[in-house]
Amino acid sequence: MFLLKLILRNSLRHKLRTVLTMLAVAVAVLAFGMLRCMVDAWYAGVDAAAANRLIARNAISLNFFLPLSYKEKIRQVEGVAGVAYGNWFGGIYIDEKNFFANFAMDMKSFLGLYPEFQVAGSQKKALLTDRKGAVVGEKLAKRFGWKIGDTVTLRGTIFPGNWDFTIRAIYKGRDKNIDETQFIFHWDYLNEKLKTMNAARGTDSIGWYIIAVAKPELAAEVAQRVDKLFKNSMAETLTETEKAFQMSFVSMTETILTAVQLVSFLVIFIILAVVANTMAMTARERIREYSVFRSLGFKPLYLFMMIAGESVFITIVGGGIAIACTFPAVKGFGDYMSAYLPVFNVSLETIALDAVISLAVGLLASIIPLWYTLKIRIADGLRAIA
């Protein structure tokens, strides 16, 4: 108890310096946590991927379509439990800045394969019976103030023209890493309208197939069977797990992710230097006191606990402030950047990292002051003037 009181009194001896150091630690740990949340947001689609779903696309690129006729052939492949399909629509709502993902999907099959997209029973029934119906994520609906029954017009880019949809359902994510900013409508509506427009591209064509596998352990075998089925055809397929499919998009920005991670650790290195400098100043000011302790027979371990205790107290309090501020900061930033980072949450891993880093910085920052205190002779320390 005496040691704890001594640590607390030493920490508050220079209140302004201590408070400013705590705030510096809080800002650094908060910045680290926000950057880690950004990395997690980038991998949200990967984390949400199911082990029993495969994605089959054109082997050349996603820009090339697959025939609708592949659906029944894929369904007959051994190990396949279900098939859905869809296209990226790329529509614009009023202005380009209002970006959100919008897809044309085989609605009934899609909802069956994605139970994590939770839709109320009455809304689902209305959605499936309305050709022009659309289902939107809860966050997207809140962003634009959409309600059930509202008409939304998207301006097509890949498929030109103005396309009218009626909001028939609003889905919620079963898990917190589910994207609630998507706009999904019937693929049949897209296909039928393209036929009436005599479109040269996109009719009876699929962007990708979603394949449900009977057992997750059969995923690799089923993928090989599907690709073998269409080998040497006019449109060969590349079938991979949903996780691998999502990772292919993340890998395109791997350099950015690496830079973000490096910056996050650079922030911690900087705050380590700040705290170490603060503790070094403290050690120089109290060298006579520490020398008195040594002359009275106190062991180096006791001095270490005094110095490290003060350092850890400062960083833990600063880290606690940062953790408390992380939740509102992530909420505000996530709402502002929802168009580009639809899933932006604080994970338990991030909180744990913040706590561990706060403790580690406190311990590491005390090493140099301890070394300085022990290397000086007791007689020289007693004569020292801070």
pLDDT of residue 297: 77
Give the largest CA-CA distance in the chain.
Answer: 97
Kindly report the pTM of this predicted structure. 0.79
> Which residues share a beta bridge with 238?
57
pLDDT of residue 168: 96
Per-residue pLDDT of the chain (386 residues; tens, 9 = 90+): 677 787 778 777 888 888 898 999 999 999 999 988 888 888 877 778 888 999 999 999 888 999 999 999 999 999 999 999 999 999 999 988 888 999 999 999 999 999 999 999 999 999 999 999 999 999 999 999 999 999 999 999 888 889 999 999 999 998 888 899 999 999 999 999 998 887 666 788 999 999 999 999 999 999 999 999 999 998 999 999 999 988 887 777 778 878 888 888 888 888 888 888 888 888 777 777 777 777 777 777 777 888 888 888 899 999 999 999 999 998 888 877 776 777 888 888 999 999 999 999 988 888 888 887 777 777 766 666 55
Residue 134 half-sphere exposure toward CB, CA atoms < 13 A: 30
pLDDT of residue 1: 63
Spatial distance between the Cα atoms of 84 and 62, rounded to a whole number of angstroms:
16
Residue 136 half-sphere exposure toward CB, CA atoms < 13 A: 25
Q: What is the DSSP letter of 209?
A: E
pLDDT of residue 309: 85
CB 302 within 8 A of CB 290: no
Which residue, among 350, 334, 353, has the nearest Cα to 342 in the 3D structure?
334
pLDDT of residue 384: 60
